[in-house]
A and B are shown apart, each in its own frame.
Chain A
Amino acid sequence: MSSAAIVVDGISFAYGGRRAVDDVGFTVDRGETLGFLGPNGAGKSTTIKMLTGRLRPQTGTITILDMSMPSQASKIQARMGVAFEEKNLYANMTAKENLVFFGRLFGVPDLDPDSLLDRVDLAGRGDDRVAEFSKGMKQRLMIARVLINTPDVLLLDEPTDGLDPVSSQAIRHVIREEAERGAAILLTTHDMAEADKLSDRVAFIDRGRVLVTDTPENLKLTYGTRSVRIRARRDGQIVESVIPLDEPGADERIRQAVAAHELLTIHTQEATLEDIFIHFAGRGLDA
């Protein structure tokens, strides 16, 4: 058994003449969360469609849990949980009915919907119709649905997009628990801060191609700039200086700045994932 739960090797897909995914490859290990980051239209959704068996790659291979997708789609899907960006729940059914229905599809007839609802902070709302739920509650129910079959692989598409802090926190908590349990998690998002919090590694995708894959820390250390921002008072005036840490003599400049003046504040500044994305893509996420 391979340690990588998901192995994507050189997959491509074009809609007519437009290449949506171009020679994409990455791996996700068991117990690992890979943030799949890119702007809208970068190729994330097409990649997810191929990973879920809804599109057949025109080139390349996808191996999930040592099985080939899409030729062994049924067996893979039985051990996979997928949360879509759209809140595709049955609105005129209750939360419990939604979970029980999907439990039957996964062959889990003795499903305990209450325990799942409890995990996503929806305890006591099981008998309410989904139509009455807020966006955050629907998203949490989507996450509960993902957990029905205790999946070995989770594909989560924008799981915290536009949610209130309480819902986002509940979902982040579940994602960490699932990773600790040993599930491989592919998290697609355009929220770099969210990816930074949740991902063990991130892969940047833009215009259908993966630009780089590494841990957020390595990316920031390797490609970002670090600096120290010092605010001090001199002759009654507030002076602010920014000292890049990667330049020669940075240590001495900091010492001088701190010693010569009345120090007010001192902050370190690190690059964000968005800075790194701009470094590789030459544009921001909203461009």
Chain B
Amino acid sequence: MITIVWAIIRKDVAQMSRDRFFAYITILGLVAYVALFWGLPSTVDETLNLGIHGVGADLLAEQLGAEEGLDLEVFDTSDALEQAVTDGDLVAGVDFPNDFLPAVTTGNQATVTVYVPADTTDDIRTAISGLVRELAYLVAGSALPITPPAEDEIILGPDRAGDQVPLKDKMRPLLAVFLLMMEMMSLASLIAQEIRSKTVTAVLVTPARTTDFLAAKTILGTALAFTEVVLLMVAIGAFGSEPLVLLTALLLAAFLVTGLALLAGSTGRDFIEILLLSVALIVPMMIPAGAALFPGSAAPWIKVLPSYGMTQAIVRASAYGAGWAETAPYLLMTLAWCVGVFAVGVFALKRKVETL
């Protein structure tokens, strides 16, 4: 059996290497993804750019100018402040009215105008409102009504202030999925070609069995996908403190797309069908990878997609140095999906080749 499987693999490698489209697009993709990764900024700007205008602005700038992470800019006019916010130069602009000091010193209410860009989210708006209250206390010369808690009492996990994970580090799973998609299409195309030309029938009337054919495709697909995605991860510096965890996640990812390729290859008849099927199968794989770019927990429906576990394991291992204990649930989730997808892929392909 091993001799036959190895013979089929050698033949498949020869065939794939002659498919110039996929050979070029894989190399091109690899180079492009590496270039994209290293072209992105490697630090996160944590400074809060805030504009202020009105009574007490100079005083605030003087008092808070040295605060880490806060950049206060004083504007001479309300219009200039509003324009700066509109232009996107500021996170927010705070405009203190001329009657602010008299009002607060006499215990009356004063209205402070806050300018925020149109795309500011609710949580940022709420945070800015809190900050404005704090600034108002400072302008009024009053102490805050509460004592801020000490940092070590409120930060859960390692303090990453000033050391945030940059966006590009969170992009690694997305780049991996892009590359795996190329590999999936390449294998699916090879399988479809064997079915269309009925060369698989010629193979199956020799001592080769259907299991040999399936094993060869699985080994080749997984090995190629794994090698390419490992090369990508090496090139974009993903291997940190937990290389084995990352390798395991990548191996499972390679196995997962091989299962999808078996399914696409057994269903699609030509290049266009393979392309459409591959896109249809790979888009759901991209969603968890895209969601990993943004802070906060992913929506529940995203968590049940096949690539969610793989994405989380890659991000956590490569960007946060997470170990086996932390990534185990995600790896197990991916393994379960691998088994399911692969079983469906094998069933579809076996049925197809045996009914030719």
A and B interact physically: yes
Give the B-binding residues of A (Cβ under 8 A): 52-54, 74, 77-78, 80, 82, 84, 86, 88-93, 97, 101-102, 104-107, 145
- Check if B18 is an interface residue, CB within 8 A of chain A: yes
Say whether B3 contacts A54, CB under 8 Å.
no
Q: Count of B residues near A, CB < 8 Å?
A: 24
Chain B min CB distance to A170 (Å) = 20
Kindly identify, within residues 1 to 39 of chain B, every residue whose CB is under 8 Å from any CB belonging to chain A: 3-4, 7-8, 10-11, 14-15, 18-19
Is B305 an interface residue, CB under 8 A from the partner? no
A90 / chain B contacts, CB cutoff of 8 Å: 11, 15, 197, 199
Bitwise interface map of B from 283 to 307 toward A, beta carbon under 8 Å scored 1, else 0: 0000000000000000000000000
A88 to B198, CA, bound (A): 5
Chain B nearest CB, measured from A135 CB (Å): 14
Which of A80, A86, A90 has most chain B Cβ within 10 Å? A90
- A107 to chain B: which residues have CB within 8 Å? 3, 207
Chain A residues whose CB sits within 8 angstroms of the CB of B208 once the complex forms: 105
Does residue B143 face the partner (Cβ distance < 8 Å to A)? Answer: no
Q: When chains A and B are docked, how far (Å) is the Cα of A148 from the Cα of B26?
A: 36
> 7 nearest interchain CB pairs?
A104-B7, A105-B206, A88-B198, A82-B205, A52-B205, A88-B202, A101-B11
Interface residue? B204 (CB, 8 A): yes
> B207 touches which one: A52, A82, A93, A105 (CB < 8 A)?
A105
Does A93 lie within 8 Å of B15, measured CB to CB? Answer: yes
Task: Report B-chain residues with C-beta under 8 Å of the C-beta of A102.
Answer: 202, 206
Cα–Cα, bound, A42→B155 (Å): 80
Query: How far, in Å, is A64 (CB) from chain B's closest CB?
Result: 12
Q: Is B68 an interface position by the 8 A CB rule?
A: no
Given contacts A52-B205, A54-B205, A90-B11, contact A104 B4 (CB under 8 A): yes
Chain A interface helix/strand/loop/mixed: loop
Cβ of B151 to closest chain A Cβ, rounded Å:
64
Q: With A and B bound together, what is the CA distance between A208 and B206 in angstroms?
A: 26
Chain A CB within 8 A of B153 CB? no
| B205, A77: Cβ atoms closer than 8 Å | yes
Q: A54-B204, A92-B18 are in contact. List 13 more A-B contacts (CB 8 A).
A: A54-B354, A78-B206, A82-B205, A84-B201, A84-B202, A88-B197, A88-B202, A89-B197, A90-B11, A92-B19, A105-B8, A105-B206, A107-B3
In angstroms, Cα B190 to Cα A90, docked, is 11
Give A251 to B205 CA distance when docked, in angstroms: 55
30 pairs, CB–CB < 8 Å, chain A vs chain B: A53-B205, A54-B204, A54-B354, A74-B207, A77-B205, A77-B206, A77-B207, A78-B206, A80-B205, A84-B202, A89-B197, A89-B199, A89-B202, A90-B11, A90-B15, A91-B197, A92-B15, A93-B11, A97-B11, A97-B14, A101-B7, A101-B11, A102-B202, A104-B3, A104-B7, A105-B203, A105-B208, A106-B206, A107-B207, A145-B202
Within 8 A of A (CB), among B176-214: 197-199, 201-209
**Alpha-carbon gap, A102 to B10, bound state (A):** 12
- Which chain A residues lie closer than 8 Å to B19 at the CB level? 92
Whole-angstrom distance between the alpha carbons of A102 and B207 in the complex? 10
A116 to chain B, nearest CB (A): 15
* Contact (Cβ within 8 A) A54 B207: no
A84 to B14 CA separation, bound complex (whole angstroms): 24
Q: Give the residues in chain B near A105, CB-CB below 8 Å.
A: 4, 7-8, 203, 206-208
- A84: chain B residues within 8 A (beta carbon): 198, 201-202
Contact call B205/A86, Cβ cutoff below 8 A = no
B7, B11, B202, B208 — most chain A CB neighbours (10 Å):
B202
How far, in whole Å, are A239 and B310 apart by their CA atoms in the complex?
A: 92
CB distance from B182 to the nearest CB of A (A): 19
Q: In the complex, what residue of chain B is closest to A94 when comparing beta carbons?
A: B14
List A contacts of B206 (CB < 8 A): 77-78, 102, 105-106
B207 touches A88 (CB 8 A): no
The distance in angstroms between the C-alpha atoms of A80 and B205, with both chains bound, is 8
Rounded to whole angstroms, the CA-CA distance of A91 and B14 in the bound complex is 12
Question: In the complex, how many angstroms separate the beta carbon of A142 from the nearest chain B beta carbon?
Answer: 9
